[in-house]
Chains A and B, each alone.
Chain A
Amino acid sequence: MIEVKGLVKTYGSKRAVDGVTFSVKRGDILGFLGPNGAGKSTTMKMITGYLRPDAGTATVDGINVATDPVAVKQKLGYLPESAPAYPEMTVEEFLGFIADVRGFRTAAANRTQVDRAVALTHLEPVRKQTIETLSKGFKQRVGFAQALLHDPAALVLDEPTDGLDPNQKNEVRSLIKSMATAKAVILSTHILEEVDAICNRVIIISRGRVVADETPAQLRARQPGARIDEIFRTLTHGDI
């Protein structure tokens, strides 16, 4: 579903992403782990077509992001880090706008998509509230609703549980799990237990390079008896 080959991105003299290669199939939930600044977000931004890679390709469902970005963006749902949204709009107006851009132009189709997204993310109580008045948890869910609205085949989620309380984290995780059977999901996080909880594959990235690409069980088998954060530290020790 999502194929990434040799992605490179350089900012000035710093190589943020240095030849990242991996692929995600339908039904996979890929946990993207790494210290802050390791290149997780940059990689995701290149997959979603927001940044242009300096080298390498990213394809979604066989379509190259570089050659047909609009087609890829139609297939993807993307939750950017810290879930940006237009603060002066109400939840309903905002999702209506997204549905409009996603091609649900008739009032009925627009309404159906918005209702579905609102129901999936439990936004009913704040539907008519402006986004600037929402708590962090609700804002994050609005970002989620926006990413899911068109029922995309692939989801890219940049730190979906960041800043949520434990209950909300749990809820978001079960939501991701429930959707994953028919979708390819990439989620970045720096919470290690999250990987154990929902992912069936882990990629650890350090200083722009993939240092591990395996199942959570294989990752744990690297150092039997060690906690997952110890393994993480060993793998990313060069990255401070």
Chain B
Amino acid sequence: MRQITPIFKREFLGYFRSPVAYVFLIAFLVISVSLAFSRYGGFFRAGVAGMESYFTFFPWLFMFIVPAVGMRLWSEEKRSGTVELLFTLPITTLEAVLGKFLAGWAFLGLAILLSFPMALTVGYLGSPDWGVVATTYFGAILMAGSYLGVCALMSALTKNQVISFVLSLGGCAILLFLGFSSFTDTLEGILPIAAADALANFSFITHFDAFTKGIIDPKDVLFFLSLMGFTLFLNVVALER
């Protein structure tokens, strides 16, 4: 497992070797902050010293933005042929998968944490419950990891980055929409209620909600972690086939 470090280092710094990282970080922060200040976010109108209006859009925003980070993970290596170089170096597939995934996750975590001026603003304007702010950040980072797991898997399936992006978007959208009543109602029409309920439990929104209210439920943490574990396992299988 010590081979994870060099892979992680190369991949993480790789984001900053091209303009990709800067474009991404700026776009992410501008979009997320403007959504919170928009009339849909109602950051000021809510009259609450909290960050809920900032984080409510995260599951939606992640649907587009995480595939943008994840699409290159494997597709790029496959297209440029460096995957052959990587897998003839003395590393196992699992080490490569973990190294790359953790690098992408760390990058997303950095993007999320760079929203700290929002937290400072809230702290300046009122006295927020810092515990809730902390659990929300924790939940957002966990959720980002789950999205990234899906995207990394999709990226391993194709050498075309556009296909990888579209597949990731589709995969993330399904996992997002499973939580909506209109969607689950349709499902309940087709499937037995128990099955529809079970499916609805796979939604990001359902599991992210508790974090934004200051609750760290082990069930939710376990959901995100096991989703990551499962997609990473499939990622290894997809690369080794």
Question: Please, how many angstroms separate the alpha-carbon atoms of A49 and B91 in the complex?
Answer: 11
CA distance A84 to B14 in the complex (A): 16
Residues of B within 8 A of A97 (CB): 6, 9-10
The chain B residue with its CB closest to the CB of A48 is B88
Bound Cα distance A48, B84 (Å)? 10
Q: How far is the CA of A84 from the CA of B80 in the complex (A)?
A: 7
In the complex, whether A129 has a CB less than 8 A from a CB of chain B is no
Quick one: closest A residue to B87, CB to CB? Answer: A50
Nearest A residue (CB) for B83? A84
> In chain B between 87 and 136, which residues have their CB closer than 8 angstroms to a CB of chain A?
87-92
Known contacts A73-B90, A98-B89; is-contact A80 B80 (Cβ 8 Å):
no
Q: Is the CB of B81 within 8 A of A84?
A: yes
**Any chain A CB within 8 A of the CB of B213?**
no
- Which of A82, A86, A102 is in CB contact (< 8 Å) with B89? A102
Contacting pair A101 B88 (CB below 8 A):
no
**10 smallest beta-carbon distances between A and B, as pairs:** A84-B81, A100-B6, A73-B90, A88-B17, A74-B90, A84-B82, A48-B88, A80-B84, A78-B88, A101-B6
Which residues of chain A from 142 to 166 have a CB within 8 Å of any chain B CB?
146
Is the pair A50, B90 in contact by a Cβ cutoff of 8 Å? Answer: no
A interface size (C-beta, 8 A): 26
B85 interfacial by beta-carbon distance below 8 Å: yes
In the complex, are the beta carbons of A146 and B85 less than 8 A apart?
A: yes
Taking CB atoms and an 8 Å cut-off, the chain B residues in 65-95 that contact chain A are 80-82, 84-85, 87-92
Contact among B6, B10, B87, B90 with A86 in the assembled complex (CB-CB below 8 Å): B10
**Mind listing 15 A-B residue pairs with CB under 8 Å?**
A45-B84, A50-B88, A70-B92, A73-B91, A78-B88, A80-B84, A84-B81, A84-B82, A85-B82, A86-B14, A97-B10, A101-B6, A101-B7, A101-B89, A103-B90
Interface of B is mostly: helix
CA distance A48 to B81 in the complex (A): 15
- CB-based nearest B residue for A87: B80
Q: Quote the shortest CB–CB distance from A106 to chain B (angstroms).
A: 13
| B182 within 8 Å of A (CB atoms) | no
B181 at the interface (CB under 8 A from A): no
**A16 on interface, CB distance cutoff 8 Å:** no
Asked if A88 and B14 make an inter-chain contact with CB atoms under 8 angstroms apart, the answer reads yes
Instruction: Enumerate chain B residues within 8 angstroms of A101, measured Cβ to Cβ.
Output: 3, 6-7, 89-91
User: Which A residues are CB-close (under 8 A) to B17?
Assistant: 88-89
Question: What are the interface flags for B124-152 relative to A under an 8 Å C-beta threshold, 1 for contact and 0 otherwise?
Answer: 00000000000000000000000000000
Q: Is the CB of A80 within 8 A of B6?
A: no
Given contacts A48-B88, A70-B92, A101-B6, 4 further A-B contacts (CB under 8 A): A45-B84, A87-B80, A97-B10, A101-B7
* Residues from chain A with Cβ under 8 Å of B18 in the complex: 88
Q: How far is the CA of A103 from the CA of B90 in the complex (A)?
A: 9
Nearest Cβ distance between residue B99 and chain A, in whole angstroms? 10
CA distance A103 to B84 in the complex (A): 19
> Which residues of B lie under 8 Å from residue A86 when comparing CB positions?
10, 14, 80, 82
**What is the CA–CA distance of A45 and B87 in the complex, to the nearest angstrom?**
10
B20's nearest neighbour on chain A, judged by CB, is A88
The reply to whether B84 and A50 contact each other, CB–CB distance below 8 Å, is yes
Query: Quick check: is A76 within 8 A (CB to CB) of the other chain?
Result: yes
Q: How far is the CA of A97 from the CA of B80 in the complex (A)?
A: 17
How far, in angstroms, from A98 to B10 measured CA to CA in the complex?
Answer: 10
The docked-state distance in angstroms from the alpha carbon of A82 to that of B82 is: 10
- Please, which residues of chain B bring their CB within 8 A of the CB of A80? 81, 84-85, 88
- Tell me, rounded to whole Å, the shortest Cβ–Cβ distance linking A177 to chain B: 24
Q: CB-nearest residue of chain A relative to B6?
A: A100
Task: Annotate A91-122 by CB proximity to B: 1 below 8 A, 0 otherwise.
Answer: 00000011011110000000000000000000
Q: Which residues of B sit under 8 angstroms from A78, Cβ to Cβ?
A: 85, 88
Question: Are A100's CB and B9's CB within 8 A?
Answer: yes
Chain A contacts for B9, CB-based, 8 A: 97, 100
